[in-house]
C-alpha cells in the first residue's frame, strides 16, 4: 500500500471507524448492518475500479472500467436515496429520487455520451 497517499489512508481509517460505529449502533437491526456492509463493499470496489482505471492503457480497457465505476456510483446513489427518502416529507422524498435519477443519468451522459 506504499503507493497510496496519506490522505487516502486517513480516509480509509475514518470510513472503517465510522462503519464500525454504525454497525455497533445498529445492533439488532440486520437491515441496517447489511446496508453499512453493502455500502462499504461498494465503496471498496469503487476505489479498486478507480485505481485500475488510472493504470489501464487503451480505450477498450478503460471503457469496461468506466462501466463498472458508473454502475457502482449509481448503486451507491440509489442505496443512500432509499435510506434518506423515507425520512422526508413526500415532496422532498420525490425530490431526493429525482435528484438520484438525474445524477445517474448525468453520470451516464458524462462517461459514455460526451
CA dihedral of residues 15, 20, 21, 25 (deg, nearest 10): 140
Query: What is the Cβ-side half-sphere exposure of residue 93, based on CA atoms within 13 angstroms?
Result: 9
In this prediction the pTM is 0.82
**3 in Cβ contact with 47 (< 8 Å):** no
Q: Mean pLDDT per 10-residue run, the chain (114 residues)?
A: 74 91 89 92 90 84 88 95 95 97 95 85
Ranges of H-type helices in the chain = 6-25, 30-55, 59-84, 90-108
C-alpha cell recorded at residue 95: 425530490
Amino acid at each position: 500500500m506504499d503507493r497510496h497517499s496519506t490522505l487516502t489512508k486517513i480516509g480509509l481509517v475514518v470510513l472503517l471507524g465510522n462503519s464500525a460505529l454504525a454497525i455497533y449502533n445498529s445492533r439488532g437491526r440486520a437491515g441496517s448492518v447489511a446496508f453499512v456492509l453493502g455500502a462499504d463493499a461498494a465503496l471498496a470496489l469503487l476505489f479498486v475500479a478507480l485505481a485500475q482505471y488510472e493504470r489501464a492503457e487503451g480505450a477498450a480497457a478503460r471503457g469496461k472500467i468506466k462501466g463498472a465505476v458508473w454502475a457502482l456510483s449509481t448503486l451507491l446513489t440509489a442505496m443512500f436515496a432509499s435510506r434518506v427518502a423515507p425520512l422526508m416529507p413526500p415532496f422532498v422524498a420525490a425530490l431526493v429520487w429525482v435528484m438520484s435519477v438525474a445524477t445517474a443519468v448525468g453520470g451516464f451522459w458524462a462517461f459514455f455520451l460526451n
